[in-house]
Amino acid sequence: MTKLKLKPFVIPTFVAVIALASLFTSALINNDNKNLSDSDEPVTYVSDTIIDSTTAVMDTSVKIINPYTDETTKIGKYFYDYKAEATKQEQAIIYHDGTYMQNSGIDFINDKVFDVIAVLNGEVLNVKDDEILGKIVEIKHDNDYITIYQSLSEINVKKGDKVNQGQVIGKSGTNELDKEIGNHLHFEFYINGQVVDPTLYLNKELNKDNNNKE
């Protein structure tokens, strides 16, 4: 096969074309970089700072829990509600020493002694031992909530103590007023000094800034 040979004048021309092409490409790149640097729009880069500045969303609601942890505990006597059906009102009547009384709380019963816990954070207002009602603990909470725990056999707190929600404050027991139902906890709930039906508030989420159940 015959070998082709480039004529002498072709080689310098070819080298010159390549050099011009390189210069043109370099000029374009420099111009693009200049346009980017002169742009008025700032360039934002993703960094660890953006991730680190994330703020967690916190739940500001409050949920009142049951005053016990033993799931076998149940209601033995209901709060007396003037608007309730007659059959439920009958279950909320207390008979003692020849007198019928309306129940101002709920009586939680169990065959065995169970731990009694604070339903909310608070401060112990009073601790006393009553001949008829048994051992009693009163706790004040935010928003003028007050809870009362009666018929206790043991008390684990004293007046002025700060207690946390779920903290054991005593144990269930018996008293002279409701001795026919045996071992139990008598629980009362007050809002702004008014007694209310605890079933309307237990296990409900409440707003910290008001006294209304949601």
Q: What single string gives the DSSP state of each residue in 101-112?
A: EE-SSEEEE-SS
Q: What is the pTM of this model?
A: 0.69
Three-class SS state of 173 = strand
For 7-33, the pLDDT digits (tens) are 444 444 444 444 444 544 454 445 555
Q: Pick the residue with more confidence: 97 or 160?
A: 160
H-run or E-run covering 52: helix 48-52
Please enumerate in sequence order all residues whose Cβ is within 8 A of that of 203, keeping only pairs 6 or more positions apart, or say none. Answer: 63, 64, 65, 66
H-run or E-run covering 34: helix 10-38
Nearest to 143 by CA among 111, 190, 109: 190
Residue linked to tokens 């007023």: 177
152 domain-assigned: yes
The total domain count for the chain is 1
Residue 126 belongs to domain with CATH number = 2.70.70.10
Three-class SS state of 132 = coil
158 domain-assigned: yes
For 53-88, the pLDDT digits (tens) are 333 333 457 899 999 999 999 999 999 988 888 888
197 domain-assigned: yes
Parent domain of 89? 62-206
214 domain-assigned: no
34 domain-assigned: no
Q: Is the C-alpha dihedral spanning 185, 191, 192, 193 positive or negative?
A: negative
Cα within 13 Å of Cα(24), Cβ side:
6
User: What is the spatial distance between Cα 60 and Cα 118, in angstroms, rounded to a whole number?
Assistant: 19
For 180-197, the pLDDT digits (tens) are 899 999 999 999 999 999
Whole-number pLDDT of residue 208? 54
42 domain-assigned: no
End-to-end CA distance of the chain: 98
Q: Reply yes or no on whether the pLDDT at 144 is more than 50.
A: yes
213 domain-assigned: no
- Find the length of the chain: 214
User: What is the spatial distance between Cα 83 and Cα 139, in angstroms, rounded to a whole number?
Assistant: 28
99 domain-assigned: yes
